Structure 1
């Protein structure tokens, strides 16, 4: 196997044309997989909180499903990162998606037999698909140049839109389909999630070869061998420190933007249902939210590459803060204003995700990139766990409006963070 991989990779080491062909081919595979991955992601977002509320009989724990599958995604992010670093993206991403598909099937079983403990375990495993869906964005960047990275990330994300937007709008049909099988309606979307995640995993396993990460790592190793050492040790130490700062800053951007997004998003379906909204209306609002999360990606990627990471991080903070204010002030029964808040929420998250990811890629090399990306995504997932769990408690013991204002304050922290980075860069 290793000999076969080495032979496949050798062809790409000295041919820029072959590298570009593989780069484009890898992007096509990522796009195919992400269409299905997006559909799997949408199920937990749309009905996870409602299913828990129905089975537990209390809105106080409505944030628990999001907390569980984001906690599961944290473990999966770690494992997918380590597997990808050692064996390549193909095995890491296929493992994550297939595991998520198994978890979705277990959610359906738990709802059918009304077993809360199995539901919790299943949601934890289902989270593997969530983190893998995010980590797939890195697969398109392995062979991209520095000026192509944000655009490559955006291509991976925008392809998620088709499945992610279709998923919530299939809630009602999948619910009816589930009921014909004797399964609770709210478990129906998880049937779709199981099929979608399993197909996404098989696409990576079958078609992502030769592995772009392994090729990029071999190219980097070859360049290191040929490169003359023209820099002094002091420059290397300074560059190493700047890279560590870059990873921390990129991670903080991802963590803050993700926590704000997950917290407000999680409790919006519950807020709508409490004010008499139908499940189809909830699906529409979440569908618009997910469209805003992914659809602007192509434009966002170009902006991040052209006008810079710093500007787009600040734009993320301002947009997320505005979303928090609109959500806080929106009447509970207003479909328009809640939809508008969640569209802004998705857009702000999109700005933060692409700019933060680009900062991390800029600050790593192929020797540690996949492992570092996986570790960062662990903290991102944990921030989602905290956001999902605390959002339910905040709403239960105060109000949805307070949750919106908390999100606003957290989002605004991104602005002083980037000011600090600029000052530190000038001093260095």
Structure 2
């Protein structure tokens, strides 16, 4: 046993002195995480597409239709902290695999709740299902562990592009999965959660088997070696202050974009249903939305690395404003304008998430990175939960137009915050 451990340690240590092996592991990590993200994207799409509709059907009111989104985003908050700390202690492989499998178990619980018509079980299962959402987001960090500063946003973008395949397929399989569910005696709206269960569990298995050696472990060893040998510049008060600013602005950008995106996205299926649109049409709009959340990532990552985190954060605020205005002003029967509005909503979120994530990675060290990232993702999840919960109440008491317009105006807060932080 000792000999095996010695061999494993020597193998890990060999990455420290070999830039070629580091580069190869970086590419392999991106490949493995990308595969898991395809499954993860399909898993998260279920809750986005039909979560609100299941609650509306069970509760018989729109006022609480945002609760499912609030619950699985709230569940993702606790899971983000759990997965982050688990990753810090045992590595990305263990943390991410555990999170995805928990998400799959939550999806199974939602299916059972729909069969039993149990609201309590539905809400409890949605909390657990949120683990998949949190893990899907945290997986983006795994690709950055061995990336240089000029590669970090691009590394995030590669994994997010791969999420697109599953995330777009998920909503467009709503009708098919609904028929499959009905054929086995399960309510049609629970069909997408069957897909989510399988997808999340497969994502966890892929990471557990293939993510070796662990990129975060290697990054820690490289950082420790550089520090011991004087290759790493000692931290000073100025750099620590800059890191705190970086964490503050990165977190703010991601939190604000999450609130706006979740609030408008959550109520769009309910708004469409009220105006005579069918489930397949809802799937198309949400499919375009999720596609815009992830598909532009490769270009976004390059832009963030080339023109800077600040410029792309400002672009995020402007894009979200346009999305909110268009969603508010679009005629309720116009599929084309709804598709454009929700696509802009996804694009603005994409700009914010990638620029914010790159800023967070820039401002953390491998020794504490996963823990800090997990903690900040809690804020993002809580922001999403707030947006989801409040969106139903705003729409029930006002209108979808008021909700969309409010979200768009809120996104503009990003611009003065980002400028103010970097002027300090």
* TM-score after normalising by structure 1: 0.97
- 1:193 and 1:4 mapped to 2: Cα distance? 39
Q: What is aligned with 2:76?
A: 73
- 2:314 and 2:364 mapped to 1: Cα distance? 22
1:124 equivalent in alignment to 2:93:
no
1:297 equivalent in alignment to 2:297:
yes
Q: What is aligned with 1:173?
A: 176
Q: What is aligned with 1:217?
A: 220
Find the residue that maps to 2:63 and give its secondary structure.
helix
Residue deviations 1:363-400, cap 9 Å, x none? Answer: 11111111000000000000000000000000001111
Distance 1:80 1:4, change over 3 A: farther
> Aligned ranges for residues 170-249 of structure 1 at < 5 Å?
170-227=173-230, 236-249=236-249
Q: What is aligned with 2:423?
A: 423
List alignment gaps of at least 5 residues for structure 2.
none
- 1:76 and 1:229 mapped to 2: Cα distance? 33
| Contact 1:5–1:210 (CA under 8 A) maintained in structure 2 | no
Q: What is aligned with 1:348?
A: 348
Distance 1:217 1:103, change over 3 A: same
Per the TM alignment, residue 301 of structure 1 is displaced from its structure 2 partner at its CA by: 0.2
Per the TM alignment, residue 421 of structure 1 is displaced from its structure 2 partner at its CA by: 2.1
Q: What is aligned with 2:160?
A: 157
Per the TM alignment, residue 422 of structure 1 is displaced from its structure 2 partner at its CA by: 2.6
- 1:419 and 1:324 mapped to 2: Cα distance? 22
> Aligned ranges for residues 3-152 of structure 1 at < 5 Å?
5-152=8-155
Residue deviations 1:145-178, cap 9 Å, x none? Answer: 0000000000010000000000000000000000
* TM-score after normalising by structure 2: 0.98
Q: What is aligned with 1:264?
A: 264
> Aligned ranges for residues 278-427 of structure 1 at < 5 Å?
278-424=278-424
- 1:238 and 1:303 mapped to 2: Cα distance? 27
Residue deviations 1:245-304, cap 9 Å, x none? Answer: 111110000000011000000000000000000100000000000000000000000000
| Contact 1:169–1:283 (CA under 8 A) maintained in structure 2 | yes
- 1:397 and 1:230 mapped to 2: Cα distance? 56
| Contact 1:35–1:159 (CA under 8 A) maintained in structure 2 | yes
Per the TM alignment, residue 336 of structure 1 is displaced from its structure 2 partner at its CA by: 1.0
Per the TM alignment, residue 8 of structure 1 is displaced from its structure 2 partner at its CA by: 3.1
- 2:111 and 2:232 mapped to 1: Cα distance? 58
CA RMSD of aligned residues (A): 1.2
Residue deviations 1:224-255, cap 9 Å, x none? Answer: 00016876xxx701111111111111000000
Distance 1:68 1:227, change over 3 A: same
Per the TM alignment, residue 119 of structure 1 is displaced from its structure 2 partner at its CA by: 0.2
| Runs of 4+ that moved beyond 2 A | 1-8, 228-231
| Contact 2:226–2:232 (CA under 8 A) maintained in structure 1 | no
| Contact 1:104–1:123 (CA under 8 A) maintained in structure 2 | yes
Find the residue that maps to 2:14 and give its secondary structure.
helix
- 2:6 and 2:330 mapped to 1: Cα distance? 61
Residue deviations 1:332-390, cap 9 Å, x none? Answer: 22111111110000000000000000001111111111100000000000000000000
Residue deviations 1:302-341, cap 9 Å, x none? Answer: 0000000110000000000110111111112211111111
Distance 1:15 1:293, change over 3 A: same
Per the TM alignment, residue 6 of structure 1 is displaced from its structure 2 partner at its CA by: 2.5
List alignment gaps of at least 5 residues for structure 1.
none
Distance 1:4 1:128, change over 3 A: farther
| Contact 1:154–1:301 (CA under 8 A) maintained in structure 2 | yes
Find the residue that maps to 1:84 and give its secondary structure.
helix
| Contact 1:8–1:210 (CA under 8 A) maintained in structure 2 | no
- 1:111 and 1:314 mapped to 2: Cα distance? 42
- Greater shift, 1-10 or 127-136, is seen at 1-10
